[in-house]
Homo-oligomer: A and B are copies of this chain.
């Protein structure tokens, strides 16, 4: 049976084999949630960039540029990292260029060797589960974390995926077993459990409770997000 592993931080990625595996990128607060929200609201594509300069250079080419560092919008960028920016088809038929502290870096790290790269978010969890059930390859869940540290919201998402795939994939990965148990223990009170988390507090200090609530909402959208040939696009199953 196909296998799941979970890498809890990009800084541990060298311990995992990537070649030939599907990789699910998770940065719940807020990069990967923003990407799914954007795709579901009819942006054409999202191009992730590692650094600010490369991202900003896309502006003259007609891209909407989204940039976040330390949880905040970068000056002179059109958008920060709020998924709510994309609602109501606000950027319908636009191309987005995006750079974020953790999430876009995680994509960068696996793009050479992964089989398929999937963008993970609670807002389209069941669509992603359906897709992953259809896949034959082993799965590596890569939690973007916060500056290399373990992060609670990405871990809960990884645990939810492991829990929902338990009959379709097998695992001997301690990280996956732990997060599956963590999700099972907290799935009915995720917001309460996350209220003490470091990243939640950082975001609350910026008055973006609405972003947090949105990022923790299950299954608003039915499309999945796939990174291929340098861009992320939506796919309806």
Residues of A at the B interface (CB closer than 8 Å) are 8-9, 11-12, 15, 146-152, 155, 171-175, 177-178, 181-182, 184-186, 193, 196-199, 201
- Counting chain B CB atoms within 10 Å of each CB, the highest count among A174, A184, A193 belongs to A174
Q: Which residue of B lies closest to A150 (CB)?
A: B175
Q: Which residue of B lies closest to A196 (CB)?
A: B177
Known contacts A12-B11, A185-B182: A151-B174 contact under CB 8 Å: yes
Bound together, the chains give a CA A175 to CA B146 distance in angstroms of 11
Known contacts A12-B148, A172-B196, then 8 further A-B pairs from the complex at CB < 8 Å, ordered by chain A residue: A8-B8, A146-B174, A152-B174, A152-B178, A155-B174, A173-B198, A177-B193, A181-B185
Bound together, the chains give a CA A193 to CA B198 distance in angstroms of 27
For A11, what are the chain B residues with a Cβ–Cβ distance below 8 Å?
11-12, 15
- Counting chain B CB atoms within 10 Å of each CB, the highest count among A12, A193, A199 belongs to A12
CB pair B199–A174 under 8 Å, yes or no, is yes
For A155, what are the chain B residues with a Cβ–Cβ distance below 8 Å?
174, 178
CB pair A150–B174 under 8 Å, yes or no, is yes
CB pair A15–B147 under 8 Å, yes or no, is yes
Bound together, the chains give a CA A12 to CA B150 distance in angstroms of 9
Known contacts A12-B11, A178-B182: A172-B198 contact under CB 8 Å: yes
A-B contact pairs, 27 of them (CB 8 A): A8-B8, A8-B150, A11-B12, A12-B12, A12-B148, A12-B149, A15-B147, A15-B148, A15-B149, A149-B174, A149-B175, A152-B178, A155-B174, A172-B197, A173-B198, A174-B197, A174-B198, A174-B199, A177-B193, A177-B197, A178-B178, A178-B182, A181-B182, A181-B185, A181-B186, A184-B185, A185-B185
- Distance in angstroms from A24 CB to nearest chain B CB is 17
- Distance in angstroms from A199 CB to nearest chain B CB is 7
Q: Which residue of B lies closest to A199 (CB)?
A: B174
- Distance in angstroms from A136 CB to nearest chain B CB is 23
- Distance in angstroms from A196 CB to nearest chain B CB is 6
For A171, what are the chain B residues with a Cβ–Cβ distance below 8 Å?
196
Q: Which residue of B lies closest to A201 (CB)?
A: B172
For A12, what are the chain B residues with a Cβ–Cβ distance below 8 Å?
9, 11-12, 148-150
